[in-house]
C-alpha cells in the first residue's frame, strides 16, 4: 500500500512541474571551497551528474538558476566501520587434559594473556572467563587466581 501511495504522490507532483527543461544551472557552495556546478539542459536532463563534497562536515547551499525542474540528492555515509586495528593482546587458552576421551566431571582451563602493543604498558585490562554450560568453577582454584 505504501508503494501505491508513493506512486500517486509522484504522479501528482509530475503533473504540476514543467515538462520542458530549457537550461538550469545548479551550484553547490561550501565554506572556503570552489563551488561545484552542474548544467542541466534538454540534451542531458536524464544523465546522472554527481560529485563528492570537498569536506565531510560543513554548511553547504544549493542554488539553482534557470527554467525547469531538477532533482538534487545528497547522501551521507555515517556508519562506516573504522579500519581494523592491529591486535595488542594475545590470548592463549588450553584445557587439561587436551583431548576429550570420554565424559569428564572436571578439567582445568589454563589462560595466558600477553600485551604485545607498542606502549610500555597496557593500563588496566580485565579477562572475563565464563564456564561451559553445565560446569561450575572449583572455588579453591578460583582463589588461586
Q: Residue 130 has which C-alpha cell?
A: 565464563
What length does the chain have?
145
- Looking at residue 95, what is its pLDDT? 84
Number of structural domains the chain divides into: 1
Cross-strand pairs, 94: 110
- 56 in a structural domain: no
Write out pLDDT tens, residues 14-61.
Answer: 777 766 777 899 999 988 888 999 999 888 888 999 998 887 778 899
- 107 part of a folded domain: yes
Q: Tell me whether residue 120 is in a domain.
A: yes
Structural domain contains residue 105: yes
The answer to the question of residue 25 being in a domain is no
Host domain of residue 119: 89-144
For residues 21 and 69, is the Cβ–Cβ distance under 8 A? yes
In a domain, 95, yes or no: yes
pLDDT at 109: 84
- The structure's pTM equals 0.45
> Pairing state of beta strands 108-115 and 89-96?
antiparallel
Amino acid at each position: 500500500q505504501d508503494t501505491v501511495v508513493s506512486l500517486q504522490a509522484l504522479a501528482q507532483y509530475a503533473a504540476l512541474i514543467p515538462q520542458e527543461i530549457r537550461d538550469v544551472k545548479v551550484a553547490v557552495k561550501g565554506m572556503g571551497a570552489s563551488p561545484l556546478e552542474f548544467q542541466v539542459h534538454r540534451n542531458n536532463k536524464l544523465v546522472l551528474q554527481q560529485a563528492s563534497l570537498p569536506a565531510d562536515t560543513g554548511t553547504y547551499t544549493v542554488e539553482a538558476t534557470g527554467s525547469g525542474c531538477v532533482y538534487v540528492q545528497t547522501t551521507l555515509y555515517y556508519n562506516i566501520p573504522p579500519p581494523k586495528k592491529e591486535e595488542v593482546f594475545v590470548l592463549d587458552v588450553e584445557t587439561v587434559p587436551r583431548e576429550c576421551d570420554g565424559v569428564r566431571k572436571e578439567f582445568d582451563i589454563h589462560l595466558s594473556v600477553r600485551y604485545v602493543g607498542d606502549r610500555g604498558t597496557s593500563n588496566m585490562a580485565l579477562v572475563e572467563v565464563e564456564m561451559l554450560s553445565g560446569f561450575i568453577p572449583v572455588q579453591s582454584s578460583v582463589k588461586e587466581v
